[in-house]
Amino acid sequence: MAAIAEAEVRAALAGITDPRSGTDIIARNMVSGLVIKDRNVGFAIEIDPADGEAMEPVRQAAEAAVRALPGVSSVTAVLTAHNNAPAAQRAAPPQAAAPQEKRDLAPDVKWIVAVASGKGGVGKSTTAANLALALAGLGLDIGLLDADIYGPSMPRMLGIKGKPQPLPDKRIAPMENYGIKAMSIGFLVDEETPMIWRGPMVMGALEQMLRDVEWGALDILVVDMPPGTGDAQLTMAQRVPLAGAVIVSTPQDIALLDARKGLNMFKKVDVPVLGIVENMSTFVCPNCGHQTDIFGHGGARAEAERLGCDFLGEIPLEMAIRVTSDAGKPIVIDQPDSPYAAAYRAIAAAVVAKLTGEPARAAPQIIVD
């Protein structure tokens, strides 16, 4: 089936009128963070917070208009209210928050590290989960924040069921498994339920998951970013006190062009890029052990060199990596002695080395009974 084109989605949304101005929501520049993932579409409609409930019918109409497009199976539209300025005046991405304001978001976390990708489906979430678990295996206190609000996958990947518990002072306890703390919008809503968030959203949700979750003292909070480099991602990169970013890319040239966009996005907001990970790097035949470079191996390493950033390591295309994640026990935990777990541990060690400025040490093995 033909991929859903962004232009088609925008054209459909241009048929929706903003009741306040009488102009359509595309012309008013109210649509941001448009993400198309397979047959699923997500976007935010930026509104004046005062309009709140009055805009709910607009949100519903926008969802219905996109859902009517051929090939679309689910649509998630959220209302966001960043500030009081009319949306048209907010075409430029918001300014970075003041450093102190940023720090207040997660004061007891030493380093917040974003795992990002230029586009969806490159294995960003799989890398984020295994990286977090490998970092915990180094003896660090680790949290994993699933900021991929359009397709939260951490509840499934980490095999965590149930809902986070409310704490006094309107705070919530993070979920835990395999020795790491985790928070995801997926814990708050069913995975199958299309997510409908009213009121201040997208960035608001991320800020809440940072500020209102009792993370406690952490060495590293790994943030699984939403895919892509749109406004929503840029806002996150600006507003969250990131110590650095890891860019996940497949070796395909096209993906690498996307990876470059990710790199530039972090540069723009002065977040150091810790390096690039090449995912689905090579394919090792499970029958004969022959190694095949399906997507042309080594592209990310060469690209990293060209762009003057570090190459953190490569992860092969391996069925067990997918199967273990789908089963809720990522390969770093399920098969700690495998070369794949070792590859994630090497990347974890390289990330720590970049953060501390100390050379990478050999990572200890995690033994799970």
154 binds ligand ADP (CB under 6 A): no
The residue (of 17 and 252) whose beta carbon lies closer to ligand ADP is: 252
Going residue by residue from 268 to 307, which x/- string records binding to ligand ADP, judged by CB under 6 A? -----------xx---------------------------
Tell me the closest approach of the beta carbon of residue 2 to ligand ADP, in angstroms. Answer: 20
Sign of the torsion formed by the C-alpha atoms of 234, 238, 242 and 244: positive
Q: Smallest gap, in angstroms, from Cβ of residue 157 to ligand ADP? A: 8
Minimum Å gap between C-beta 332 and ligand ADP is: 12
Handedness of CA 29, 208, 347, 280 (dihedral sign): negative
Residues numbered 90 to 129 that lie near ligand ADP (CB under 6 A) are 117, 120-126
Site for ligand ADP in 44-83 (CB under 6 A): none
Stretch that binds ligand ADP, among 9-17, 92-100, 289-297, 317-325 (CB under 6 A): 317-325
Residues between 190 and 249 with contacts to ligand ADP, criterion CB under 6 A: 227
CA distance 272 to 245: 6
Tell whether residue 317 is a contact of ligand ADP (CB under 6 A).
Answer: yes
Q: Is 153 in the site for ligand ADP (CB under 6 A)?
A: yes
Least distance CB 119 / ligand ADP (angstroms): 8
Per CB under 6 A, does 186 bind ligand ADP? no
Q: Where do contacts with ligand ADP occur on this chain (CB under 6 A)?
A: 117, 120-126, 153, 227, 279-280, 315, 317-318, 321-322, 325
